[in-house]
Amino acid sequence: MMRKFTNLQTDLLRTFVTVVDLRNYTETGNVLGRTQPAISLQVKRLEEIAGVKLLRHEGKKVELTPNGQALLGYAREILRLNDRAVANLQQAAFYGTLRVGLPVDYSIEYFQSIIAEFSHNNPDVTLDIRCDRSVDLLSALHVDDLDLTIALTDTMSAPHVSVYWSERPVWACSRDYKIDPTQPLKLIAHPNGCFYRRRMIEALDTEGRDWRVSFESLGISALQKAVLDGMGVTALTRKTMQPGMRILTQSDGFPNLSRIHVGLFYKHIKMSDAALKLIEKITEDISTFRIPTRTRAETLKERH
């Protein structure tokens, strides 16, 4: 028996993604050149094709249903591929200014290398790079001060995320660092609000272990140097471990840390051809180490 295919039309997906990004049917109509009733009809048509409810209304707010959240990532990817295909076929020139956010609390050097290669291959694109805390980068994207950003969040999925993955931070100290069990543990940490800091403190408090912050800095390079200088222990991802460091495990008396979630965030409706090309480059490169975020059931099973 021949399989029946369901085709999700790109114009309907574009309307859906734009409504999600703008959280407003009227603004979506203004951006896409349609009336508000036409936008409503397109959303309903997409829901009919998909066979599920995608959006719900809470007062004047437009919110995603669980099925809508599940579709959103695929929709962004379908639109990105569609628009990149059209740009390639039309041999679009890549130019303009891109405002890109990079988190100081993640593998910033890795993403700097990706962006530097993109800049070298696309000299007509001007890049404005902002390095900051993830929470501030996401706020800047929300008010359109950034075109795209890499950022950490506590939960996934989050608004405007395209690609996301999770990593479990590890406890790290210098190779020869000696821990005095009779003294509070010395922590090297980012300022309050950092996801790594929160995970370290939660893990230690759960264990009833005394601690104090001995070194605090916004930048990850300063934290790495403090670790190598033997000023305490910190939490890092394996990509940010450096020669001269060692990982502390449960056998050393250090509990597992909760996973962090990392994503590539952007508003599709704001994307130029140059931005889509950079997003494609980032997406291709992170696929080499991306680990899918675990489900809640898998996480609970692991903990037990």
pLDDT attached to residue 218: 86
pLDDT greater than 70 at residue 295: no
pLDDT attached to residue 3: 63
pLDDT greater than 60 at residue 300: no
pLDDT attached to residue 137: 93
pLDDT attached to residue 156: 65
Kindly state the average pLDDT of the residues 227-249: 94
CA–CA gap between residue 55 and residue 63 (Å, rounded): 6
pLDDT greater than 90 at residue 47: yes
Query: Phi, psi at residue 229, to the nearest 5°?
Result: -80, 0
Kindly state the average pLDDT of the residues 36-50: 93
pLDDT greater than 70 at residue 2: no
Tens-digit pLDDT profile for residues 52-67: 999 998 877 888 999 9
Confidence of residue 158 (pLDDT cuts 50, 70, 90): low
pLDDT greater than 80 at residue 153: yes
Q: Cα 161 from chain centroid?
A: 6
Q: Which domains can be identified in the chain, with CATH numbers?
A: 10-86 (1.10.10.10), 97-166+260-293 (3.40.190.10), 170-252 (3.40.190.10)
pLDDT greater than 50 at residue 293: no
Confidence of residue 299 (pLDDT cuts 50, 70, 90): very low
Kindly state the average pLDDT of the residues 42-61: 90
Percent of the chain with pLDDT over 70: 92
Burial class (CB in 10 A: 0-12, 13-18, 19+), 235: buried
pLDDT greater than 80 at residue 41: yes
pLDDT greater than 50 at residue 304: no
Average model confidence (pLDDT) across the chain? 86
Q: Which one is predicted more confidently, 253 or 285?
A: 253
pLDDT attached to residue 292: 45
Kindly state the average pLDDT of the residues 92-108: 83
